Amino acid sequence: MAGTEISVPPEQFTKIKEGVLITEKALEEGEDGVCRVREHPSSEELEAESTHGALQAKIPGGKLELVLAIPEEGEKHILTLQTAHLTSEDAELQDLAPQHQGEVPVVVQQAGSGVQSLVRLGEGSQQSLHQCVTISIQEEMYPLQEVEVMQFHVLEENVTGASEDSKCAVSLAESSGSIKEEEQLLVEGGFSEETEGQFFLVEARPGDEIVLTISTLNTEKPALGQAHVEKANATKSRKKTKEVKRTFHCDICMFTSSRISSLTRHMKTHTNEKPHMCHLCLKAFRTVTLLRNHINTHTGTRPYKCGDCDMAFVTSGELARHRRYKHTHEKPFKCSMCKYASVEASKLKRHIRSHTGERPFQCCLCSYAGKDPYKLKRHMRTHSGERPYECHICRVRFTQRGTMKIHILQKHTENVPKYQCPHCATVIARKSDLRVHLRNLHTYRAAEMKCHYCPAVFHVRHALLQHHKTHKNEKRFKCEHCSYACKQERHMTVHIRTHTGEKPFACPSCDRCFRQQQLLNVHFKKYHDTTFVPTVYKCPRCGKGFSRLNNMQRHLKTCGSGQEKPTTSEKGRRTKKRKPTIPKETAKEAEAAAEEASLVSGEQYPGGLVPIDFGEATAGGEDLDEDMTCEMILAMMEK
């Protein structure tokens, strides 16, 4: 690594402390329009206020790599640490053995295990901490019992320059908080010549998560350079440590390799040199292997055939993966926080984002951020309006294929299975809607729901609604002044006016008042609306006009036989049949009958009929019947 600024693809790492890394993060927009975390200000937990650092970690195959970006005066430096799991036996050896310079072994005790914790960072270090970066490792994500022994290797040496007498203090505490923070293990530490004076404070804090605070001293800007070779920090007497060897660094990216041939090959990835061209499509490739695989896609050559199904693949790796997915179901990548396991490491990494909440793929048009590139891409359709999926039957387009499939199923498919509510007779087309139904109607609610009509109370809405039906068709509104009863409260409101004498609907053109709006409307049309043309029913025999159909029909019985027809002025008129007039013995009963017809007269006319006086306006010169029903009034008003 040869730059002062390293662009670390966030997807390669797992966020380990959201509060520090994300909430104060600064976003950098990448080439793909995706904003990524580059750095963040120091948190209050940092012992040196001037220290900033983007810190990310990844867990490749059981190792935990921590990448610290420690900006100083506008610069950023990268320190890569790598942990290595050790056995307890290793740890015992480790406890007494002097550490090689450059090593930062950390022995972490499992909470309650009784084994003394130890973190060893090197020799000759002191507690002199000028800069630090806090690393928070959620215990669930990386359980202590799985990191009984950790070793930090300095993989990138871009942080240098502390004084020799600087020391590093390490304190450990159980995540449960049972260990006092004062119980610190002071461990001396140091590094190789190149990293002399670089020290770390690793400390675990009690709480829900283990917090490792790594502090460094006096970071310096690394030297810029081309692809360079430097001696790696060698470790000794350790398992899983790298031998002393030369490391070849790419000056363009973070790539390092122990072989110059690998670096040479790698450097071709930074060029567009692709000497191997496909003779079928002229597509070029860097290596002959890639070209051969590509040609196989043309020819359909898939030499690696699955023995358990008809699938075949270009490479053996694809076949092996396929077999794990489809046949062996081997899932070596297990989540430490839940039971999830996956065939591929990338899937576990993606899954862990559902625990950490990390959303590296930021929409540049809104606040949405996705956990993987596809979700961001799918989300972008909401901005572009793109609807790639079309129903082949009705041509309606959709943003997602799943939505279209549901559409086709529900709209264009017969015998679609439906979901029966287990608590009532409701059948719902979609399971998700059934869930809503259950939530709204069949979920117990602590708050009592009272019946509008009786003292009964319920805690399940469906039970209340069922109970309401028991009140149906019952004239539950009873007048306290007389024997009148009705089904609807609004009718009772009107009826009460017959006792109070209230007539709230006043004609704006004269001094008349009415108890109902409908009566006022009819009055206004008759006396004050010059454009109003009343309906006239003419006798087909004698031509006599009637304002109401039933009067004309009654007339016909004496005048002759035959069906009448309304005049042209009645065209389009509603022709509801009049309810049969039921003789009532009392005015109250008449009111009740009128109430049944959704109209209660303020006047006391028997039979529930409303007297309407059309005067001389009728064509036939006949006064309107006084026993006109509400339907007729409504029909007239409609006209």
- Give residues 399-418 in contact with DNA (rule: CB under 7 A): 399-403, 405-407, 410-411
Among 426, 493, 521, 581, binds DNA (CB under 7 A): 426
Determine what percent of the chain falls in helix, strand and coil, rounding each to the nearest 5.
Answer: 30, 20, 55
Among 269, 413, 470, 483, binds DNA (CB under 7 A): 269
Is 431 a binding residue for DNA by CB under 7 A? The answer is yes
> Which helix (H) or strand (E) is 545 found in, with range?
strand 545-546
Is 639 a binding residue for DNA by CB under 7 A? The answer is no
Cβ proximity to DNA, 285 vs 532, nearer residue: 285
State the minimum distance, in angstroms, from the CB of residue 329 to DNA: 8
Separation of alpha carbons 183 and 179, rounded Å? 7
Of the ranges 6-14, 89-97, 135-143, 531-539, which one interacts with DNA (CB under 7 A)? 6-14
Among 44, 182, 243, 261, binds DNA (CB under 7 A): 261
Burial of 48 (0-12, 13-18, 19+ CB in 10 A): middle
Cβ proximity to DNA, 196 vs 358, nearer residue: 358
Helix axes 431-441, 461-470, angle to 10 degrees: 70
**Token digits for 183?**
């119980």
State the minimum distance, in angstroms, from the CB of residue 113 to DNA: 30
State the minimum distance, in angstroms, from the CB of residue 207 to DNA: 24
| In the block, residue with structure tokens 């001389």 | 616
Of the ranges 121-129, 433-441, 525-533, 568-576, which one interacts with DNA (CB under 7 A)? 433-441
Among 7, 23, 178, 287, binds DNA (CB under 7 A): 287
State the minimum distance, in angstroms, from the CB of residue 627 to DNA: 25
**Token digits for 373?**
């590139």
Among 236, 265, 423, 459, binds DNA (CB under 7 A): 265
Cβ proximity to DNA, 180 vs 298, nearer residue: 298
Is 428 a binding residue for DNA by CB under 7 A? The answer is yes
Compute CA 185 distance to the chain's CA centroid, rounded to the nearest angstrom.
45
Which letter does DSSP use for residue 141 in this model? T
Cβ proximity to DNA, 30 vs 41, nearer residue: 30
**Token digits for 291?**
């070209």
Helix axes 489-500, 587-596, angle to 10 degrees: 150
Cβ proximity to DNA, 183 vs 489, nearer residue: 489
Residues 525, 532 contacting (CB under 8 angstroms): yes
Is 435 a binding residue for DNA by CB under 7 A? The answer is yes
Closest to 325 measured CA to CA, from 314, 309, 337: 309
Residues 106, 97 contacting (CB under 8 angstroms): no
Separation of alpha carbons 50 and 566, rounded Å? 95
Is 255 a binding residue for DNA by CB under 7 A? The answer is yes
Separation of alpha carbons 567 and 578, rounded Å? 19
Instruction: 627-632: list long-range contacts, CB under 8 Å, 24+ apart.
Output: 627/581, 628/548, 629/578, 629/579, 629/581, 629/597, 630/594, 630/597, 630/598, 630/599, 631/576, 631/577, 631/578, 631/579, 631/597, 632/548, 632/549, 632/550, 632/578
Among 130, 242, 430, 573, binds DNA (CB under 7 A): 430
State the minimum distance, in angstroms, from the CB of residue 317 to DNA: 2
Residues 45, 134 contacting (CB under 8 angstroms): yes
Burial of 481 (0-12, 13-18, 19+ CB in 10 A): exposed
Under rule CB under 7 A, which residues in 33-52 are in contact with DNA? none
State the minimum distance, in angstroms, from the CB of residue 616 to DNA: 29
Largest CA-CA distance found in the chain, in angstroms, rounded: 128
Separation of alpha carbons 536 and 568, rounded Å? 9
Amino acid identity at 482? C
Among 392, 469, 557, 571, binds DNA (CB under 7 A): 469
Separation of alpha carbons 488 and 485, rounded Å? 9
Measure the CA angle with vertex 361, ends 358 and 362; round to 5°.
Answer: 105
State the minimum distance, in angstroms, from the CB of residue 4 to DNA: 21
Cβ proximity to DNA, 389 vs 532, nearer residue: 389
State the minimum distance, in angstroms, from the CB of residue 459 to DNA: 14
Under rule CB under 7 A, which residues in 54-83 are in contact with DNA? 60-61
Cβ proximity to DNA, 334 vs 481, nearer residue: 334
| In the block, residue with structure tokens 């003419």 | 538
Is 476 a binding residue for DNA by CB under 7 A? The answer is no
Among 130, 286, 512, 639, binds DNA (CB under 7 A): 286
Q: What is the CA radius of gyration of the chain?
A: 43
State the minimum distance, in angstroms, from the CB of residue 34 to DNA: 9
Per-residue string for binding with DNA, 479-518, x by CB under 7 A?
---------x------------------------------
State the minimum distance, in angstroms, from the CB of residue 325 to DNA: 3
Cβ neighbours around 207 below 10 Å, total:
13
At residue 534, φ and ψ (nearest 5 deg) are -70, 150
Under rule CB under 7 A, which residues in 289-308 are in contact with DNA? 289-290, 293-294, 297
State the minimum distance, in angstroms, from the CB of residue 9 to DNA: 6
Q: How many residues bind DNA (CB under 7 A)?
A: 89
Residues 421, 460 contacting (CB under 8 angstroms): no
Separation of alpha carbons 637 and 639, rounded Å? 5
For 214, residues 6+ apart whose C-beta sits below 8 A from its C-beta are 66, 68, 81, 132, 133, 134, 135, 200, 201, 202
State the minimum distance, in angstroms, from the CB of residue 612 to DNA: 19
Per-residue string for binding with DNA, 306-345, x by CB under 7 A?
-----x-xxxxxx-xxx--xx-------------x-xxxx
Q: How many CA atoms lie within 13 A of 226 on its CB side?
A: 1
H helices of 324-394, in order, are 345-356, 373-384
Cβ proximity to DNA, 259 vs 565, nearer residue: 259
Is 524 a binding residue for DNA by CB under 7 A? The answer is no
Under rule CB under 7 A, which residues in 347-406 are in contact with DNA? 347, 349-351, 353-354, 368, 370-375, 377-379, 381-382, 387, 396, 398-403, 405-406
Among 472, 557, 571, 577, binds DNA (CB under 7 A): 472
Separation of alpha carbons 157 and 475, rounded Å? 89
Cβ proximity to DNA, 116 vs 410, nearer residue: 410
State the minimum distance, in angstroms, from the CB of residue 184 to DNA: 35
Cβ proximity to DNA, 130 vs 387, nearer residue: 387
Under rule CB under 7 A, which residues in 576-635 are in contact with DNA? none
